Amino acid sequence: MQDADLLFMSATSAAALIRARKLSPVDYVEAVLGAIARQQPRLNAFVTVTAAEARADAKRAEQAVAAGEPLGPLHGVPVSIKDLVDVSGVPTKHGSAIFQDNIAREDDVLVARLKAAGAIVIGKSTTPEFGNKGLTDSPSHGITRNPWNLGRTSGGSSGGAAAAVAAGLGPIGLGTDGAGSVRGPAACCGVVGLKPTLGAVPADTTRDAFGNNIYAGPLARTVTDAAVMHAVLTGPSAKDPWSIKGQDQRQLSPKLIGGDLTGIRIGHIARCANPRVAADVTANTRAALDAWAAMGAEVEEVTDAIDWIELEGRILYQANFTVFCAQYLPRWQNQMDPVTLAFMERGATFSLADFRNAQFARTRLFRAIQALFERYDFLVTPTNTRSALPVEFDAANDEVEVDGVKCGITRQGWTSYQYPFNLTGHPALSVPSGFAADGLPTGVQIVGQWGAETDVLRLGSLLEQARPWAQHRPAGL
């Protein structure tokens, strides 16, 4: 098997070959590490590559196969971990100069679950400082570039993971999503990204467990790989109150068993807080809706007047940076990302009343979405309003241009479809929808009812079958 085919093989296919003793984990990991070495200067998708540890783990994985030991669903499969999540013995730098020497003492619960499933950690993928924005760059590690066009961003804040998966530097990556940070990079890089239901995947390290809006989820080239990885990550943790007891996240609705979607109701939300959508994104979203309609689904435009609480969401987001990062300013201000500092400055202007009213608005938004799910099985939107932004875009000050028209900051003009579902807790999946006029990927977002990740993944899988995308590869790899 040629390296190119191996690097772009799905995780589930690779795991099956490893179990059948037709693929050596040692050879597989070596091929991925070689590809990382070649592509890291171009893409900058990794902040740390754990080559020695990965090679040792691959040898142990091969010995386990030879010994006939029980093997997990991801046995021998390389995985990258976003550099906001701890891997024992490896620095967790948070994209910041502040934490350059921060060696993790133990694995995060999600890393422990991936390792228990047999996955082999190959490195820590890049993130902007504290995952602060929709582009992946920081003063500490530089710019992470989009494999489809090196002049464009890979998205953020899980841009390193998305770029790595898109470029064949491991078939799966673990990302986190605080305001679209899995789904946005997935759309930018032409891969699959899932933000689960609140509590489905535990968030052991979040500072506000009860008011949490940060999720961990998979980035993958296929829906099946994302589903398998998600199944590995789910389950309760005593540190996350939302995860302790809840609905079974893996149950599939019976009416989605086959390929006939008759009786399935899809509500199409054309716009959230954004004033415009690029014509090519609209066309690709319509093509996805038409594909589901051809399977029997009833597609309807959502005309309800919904307050998408862009300002209130920004108050919650930026005020958190103000409080959390204040401790670092005396020593580290000159080495911090100017975007972080801008968010802190703006967050400091909000009052306690502003913050509490924003929390109340979050409840109103949740109830508005719940009301839509009384009529629809799924909600569908574009993932981004346009293809990936230029890498030099200033996320604190620049306005997003959509078809040549300025449309506000990123939350207003680019990622407005994403952040609402961090606030409401509903599962949301981004899958590729095609290519824009500039040759970059676009994505469509599928939102489901609470606990309905399996249904969301199934609808994404049906689109994947009708409009395949995993065969596409960026040039120059």
Q: Which residues are catalytic?
A: 82, 157, 181
Contacts 24+ apart (CB under 8 A), 327-334: 328/98, 332/96, 332/97, 332/98
Q: How many other CB atoms are there within 10 angstroms of residue 435's CB atom? A: 17
Phi, psi for 192 (deg, rounded to 5)? -100, 135
In angstroms, rounded to a whole number, what is the distance separating the alpha carbons of residues 376 and 370?
Answer: 10
Q: Note whether 104 and 88 are within 8 A (CB).
A: yes
The answer to whether residues 194 and 225 touch, using CB atoms and an 8 Å cutoff, is no
Strand ranges in 35-117 using DSSP code E only, listed in sequence order:
46-49, 78-82
CB-count burial class (<10 Å; 0-12, 13-18, 19+) for 282:
middle
439 φ, ψ (degrees, to nearest 5)? 90, 0
- Cα 186 to chain centroid, rounded: 6
Task: Give yes or no for a contact between 125 and 154, defined as CB atoms under 8 angstroms apart.
Answer: no
CA 307 to chain centre: 25
User: How many helices (H) and strands (E) would you count in the chain?
Assistant: 17, 17
How wide is the angle at C-alpha 308 spanned by C-alphas 443 and 249, nearest 5°?
60
Provide the sign of the torsion angle of the four alpha carbons 153, 315, 401, 420, taken in this order.
positive
Four-residue CA torsion sign, 163, 168, 170, 172:
positive
